[in-house]
Amino acid sequence: MASMRESHDWSIDRALQLYNIANWGAGYFSINQKGHLTVHPCGQPGPVIDLMDVVDDIRERRLGFPCVVRFQDVLRSRVKQLNETFRNAIAQHGYKGQYFGVYPTKVNQMREVVEEILDAGAPYHFGLEAGSKGELLIVLALNSDPEALTICNGYKDEEYLRLALLGRKLGRKVMVVIEKLSELPHLLRLAEEMNVQPLIGLRSKLSTKGTGKWESSSGDFAKFGLTTPELIQAVRLLHEKGAEGLARLVHFHVGSQLTDIHTVKDVENEGARNYAKLLKMGLALEYFDVGGGLGVDYVGARSNRYVSSLNYTVDEYAADVIYTVQQICASEGVPEPHIVSESGRALTAHHSCILMNVFGHIEFGENGAVHEAHAGQAEKAPVPDAPETAVVREMREIVAGLTSKNSGETYHDAVAKKEQALTMFKLGILGLEERAQIEGLFWRLCRKLVEINKRRKRIPGQTRGLEDKLADQYMANFSVFQSAPDHWAIDQLFPIAPLHRLNEPPTRDSTIVDITCDSDGKIDTFIENETVDETIALHPLREGEPYYLGMFLTGAYQDIMGDMHNLFGRVHEVHVFVDDEDPEDYYIEEVIPGDTMERVLVRVQYEPSDLAKRVKQALDARVREGAVKPKESVSLTDFYEQAMRGYTYLASI
Ligand SMILES: *Cc1c(COP(=O)(O)O)cnc(C)c1O
């Protein structure tokens, strides 16, 4: 593909297309005339932030990279969009119920995120969902709107149930969703003891399965929810206790990132039937909670072919939910309930991204040898010619004989010759210099084959896939395990694009590796145009000039699931707000420094001062031996202690 990206036909439009920015960007991202990536935090038109200005800001503050940037206005815009969309669908269909969404805190529990969502959602009485005691502690303190819902999901012990009932004492609409039958009598008993009326939700285990990555978390064998016989038992129990009037909500959640709108319809259908039948059995149901699952188009392909894409919009989702529930209610002759959704991914994914610098690349070089080039370092000279042995000469002849007609056989011959040379090397009859020449010739052949393959329609089987194997590896200053754990764990795709030089053709096909010492610490699925590819086109590194990449749509789940692999820890974070008065249209409201070495070491039970003491003692001993000068020992000790206070990632230019 690289050959098709020449400077004469390159343009910013081509860059937009290649990285598919408009399609995954949902209106929040674009490219300006300088060739820099921009953010439109309130959608387009509206204020525009040049991400390179943010990069400069981060550098001026001596923060360094990687750095997470949160656009609080994007969060607000998503909350507004979701609520308005449901309201419009309700108005259009003449639906009788209202929409009361809740934000599932597990998606990102950070205070600034939850507070921003609540604030933007206040006009809509937007509520919060908790899936654990820790989350409920947050929700009880923050969600003070008596109209807004608090939904309690997840398995519950006595303390969890008491906390939920405490919420009722505060006058809040706290729904305890029964995930497991035994929770129900337990809740009723505690409510009586605390002298408070609980509000009860029943989670049903639907037989209809989600589609996409989370398919196995739904269906008859799912972990959460009540089976049909259990639902019947729950109703009986409520009747026995005269508590039917307390059951206000039915709930289901068939998994995250639903890729197919047909599944949404099926699921709503089954769920709505449950609602109608349970209502007819005497429960006082008012709310129909459709759970999460509203997806995000990370690829921008608008297709259910990819698990990181989907074939519907938020508008279609809301319309389908409203329409399906309305149809079922009409056919069952029951009132239309209020609609609740627990959309987390769709609210938060777009609002944050991670900015990182590339500090070098590994290239399967033109001159043969694999070599490393650093941002700021000249390329190495080729290996000087040694007197040629037979096997080297034969390899040279094979390579020289390459034509587009014999490329398959030539490749085959070269692989065999390379293997022969390896055998000779192992037997000690071929030197390291000769082996280097053989490998150099082989890589040169591969490069030529890639060139030939680009010009032909049908590629011989032997040489298929060579292009991706020969792709450069750009080394980026970040950890996949901390900042994109879902890419490592479940092959989730996150869009990546350069933050600048987008007015130049990106001529290097590359993959991206991180700085962990783990061969899984890499990214090898990217967006190219509207499809998924194993490489990404990047710009050649320039001497002494930093090169920046952004990874986008990382606002859902990634922050909180990131881990400490290799002790890299949490990354720096800046919170950006739109400001029309500012010449750059924004200001940084808050800086949250990432982990220092000290902090991550404490987390794995080391005492930094103890470590420093041990190093100092070892240095003192060397001073006594006369191996190190006393003054040098003092500065080395200082240096060690200073490193302890530093950022865990690579210092960048
Ligand atoms: C995780 C979860 C959600 C959030 O799902 P999204 O797909 O991120 O919207 C909602 N409800 C429940 C019960 C969950 O477990």
Nearest C-alpha to atom 4 of ligand 1 is from which residue?
292
Split at pLDDT 50, 70, 90, the class of 8 is confident
Split at pLDDT 50, 70, 90, the class of 379 is very low
Split at pLDDT 50, 70, 90, the class of 453 is confident
Q: Is 107 in the pocket of ligand 1 (CB under 6 A)?
A: yes
Using a pLDDT cut of 90, give the percent of the chain over it: 82
Q: Is 225 in the pocket of ligand 1 (CB under 6 A)?
A: no
**DSSP notation for 561-583:** H---GGG--PPEEEEEEE-TTST
Q: What are phi and psi of 398, to 5 degrees?
A: -60, -50
Q: Does the structure show a pLDDT above 50 at 236?
A: yes
Question: What is the rounded average pLDDT of the residues 387-397?
Answer: 90
270 CA to centre of own chain: 31
Ligand 1 closest atom vs CA 177? 13
Euclidean distance between CA atoms 122 and 126, whole angstroms: 6
Per-residue pLDDT tens for 101-122?
A: 999 999 999 999 999 999 999 9
Question: What is the rounded average pLDDT of the residues 401-426?
Answer: 93
Q: Is 289 in the pocket of ligand 1 (CB under 6 A)?
A: no
Give the chain's mean pLDDT: 92
- Weakest-pLDDT range from 376-380, 427-431, 491-495: 376-380
Split at pLDDT 50, 70, 90, the class of 555 is very high
Question: What is the rounded average pLDDT of the residues 631-642?
Answer: 97
Split at pLDDT 50, 70, 90, the class of 3 is very low
Per-residue pLDDT tens for 560-577?
A: 888 888 889 999 999 999
Tell how far the Cα of 104 is from the centroid of ligand 1, in angstroms.
6
Split at pLDDT 50, 70, 90, the class of 458 is confident
The Cβ of residue 627 has, within 10 Å, a number of other Cβ atoms equal to 10
Given ligand 1 and candidates 150, 256, 553, which is best to mutate, with the most ligand atoms within 8 Å of its CB?
A: 256
Per-residue pLDDT tens for 59-72?
A: 999 999 999 999 99
Residues 6+ apart with CB under 8 A from 112: 70, 72, 575, 590
Of residues 497, 495, 499, 473, the one with CA closest to residue 484: 495
**pLDDT for res 299:** 96
Question: What is the rounded average pLDDT of the residues 78-84?
Answer: 98
**pLDDT for res 370:** 52
Question: What is the rounded average pLDDT of the residues 240-262?
Answer: 95
Nearest C-alpha to atom 3 of ligand 1 is from which residue?
292
Residue 124 DSSP one-character state: G
Q: Is 361 in the pocket of ligand 1 (CB under 6 A)?
A: no
- Weakest-pLDDT range from 444-448, 458-462, 503-507, 591-595: 458-462
The tokens for 399 are 């390579």
Ligand 1 closest atom vs CA 255? 7
Ligand 1 closest atom vs CA 251? 13
| Paired sense of beta strands 547-551 and 496-498, if any | antiparallel
Euclidean distance between CA atoms 525 and 421, whole angstroms: 34
Tell how far the Cα of 64 is from the centroid of ligand 1, in angstroms.
34
Q: Is 253 in the pocket of ligand 1 (CB under 6 A)?
A: yes
The amino acid at residue 251 is H
Split at pLDDT 50, 70, 90, the class of 369 is very low
Of residues 602, 612, 611, the one with CA closest to residue 564: 602
The amino acid at residue 96 is K
The tokens for 48 are 């525009």
Helix runs in 291-375, H state only: 314-332, 345-348
Q: Is 594 in the pocket of ligand 1 (CB under 6 A)?
A: no
Ligand 1 closest atom vs CA 556? 8
Comparing 250 with 447, the larger pLDDT belongs to 250
**pLDDT for res 627:** 97
Q: Does the structure show a pLDDT above 90 at 362?
A: no
**pLDDT for res 318:** 98
Tell how far the Cα of 11 is from the centroid of ligand 1, in angstroms.
40
Tell how far the Cα of 155 is from the centroid of ligand 1, in angstroms.
15
Q: Is 293 in the pocket of ligand 1 (CB under 6 A)?
A: yes
Per-residue pLDDT tens for 279-327?
A: 999 999 999 999 999 999 999 999 999 999 999 999 999 999 999 999 9
Comparing 604 with 466, the larger pLDDT belongs to 604
The tokens for 182 are 């035994």
Of residues 211, 184, 214, the one with CA closest to residue 199: 184
Question: What is the rounded average pLDDT of the residues 475-492?
Answer: 93
Tell how far the Cα of 153 is from the centroid of ligand 1, in angstroms.
10
pTM of the model: 0.91
Per-residue pLDDT tens for 182-228?
A: 999 999 999 999 999 999 999 999 988 777 777 776 777 677 899 99
Using a pLDDT cut of 70, give the percent of the chain over it: 95
Q: Is 342 in the pocket of ligand 1 (CB under 6 A)?
A: yes
**pLDDT for res 215:** 74
31: three-class secondary structure by DSSP: strand
Q: Is 291 in the pocket of ligand 1 (CB under 6 A)?
A: yes
Of residues 515, 376, 474, the one with CA closest to residue 66: 515
The tokens for 126 are 């937007």
**pLDDT for res 7:** 75
Tell how far the Cα of 94 is from the centroid of ligand 1, in angstroms.
28
**pLDDT for res 382:** 47
Q: Is 104 in the pocket of ligand 1 (CB under 6 A)?
A: yes
Q: Does the structure show a pLDDT above 60 at 653?
A: no
Tell how far the Cα of 107 is from the centroid of ligand 1, in angstroms.
8
Nearest C-alpha to atom 10 of ligand 1 is from which residue?
292
Euclidean distance between CA atoms 608 and 605, whole angstroms: 9
**pLDDT for res 372:** 55
Q: Is 294 in the pocket of ligand 1 (CB under 6 A)?
A: yes
Given ligand 1 and candidates 117, 342, 490, 560, which is best to mutate, with the most ligand atoms within 8 Å of its CB?
A: 342
The alpha-carbon radius of gyration of the chain (Å, integer) is 30
Q: Is 106 in the pocket of ligand 1 (CB under 6 A)?
A: yes
Nearest C-alpha to atom 2 of ligand 1 is from which residue?
292
Tell how far the Cα of 293 is from the centroid of ligand 1, in angstroms.
6
Q: Does the structure show a pLDDT above 80 at 168?
A: yes
**Cis peptide upstream of residue 123 (ω within 30 degrees of 0):** no
Q: Is 256 in the pocket of ligand 1 (CB under 6 A)?
A: yes
**pLDDT for res 41:** 96
Q: Does the structure show a pLDDT above 80 at 366?
A: no
Tell how far the Cα of 605 is from the centroid of ligand 1, in angstroms.
34
Ligand 1 closest atom vs CA 258? 7
Euclidean distance between CA atoms 636 and 614, whole angstroms: 13
Split at pLDDT 50, 70, 90, the class of 385 is low
**pLDDT for res 368:** 43
**What beta strand segments (E) does 365-423 contain?**
370-374
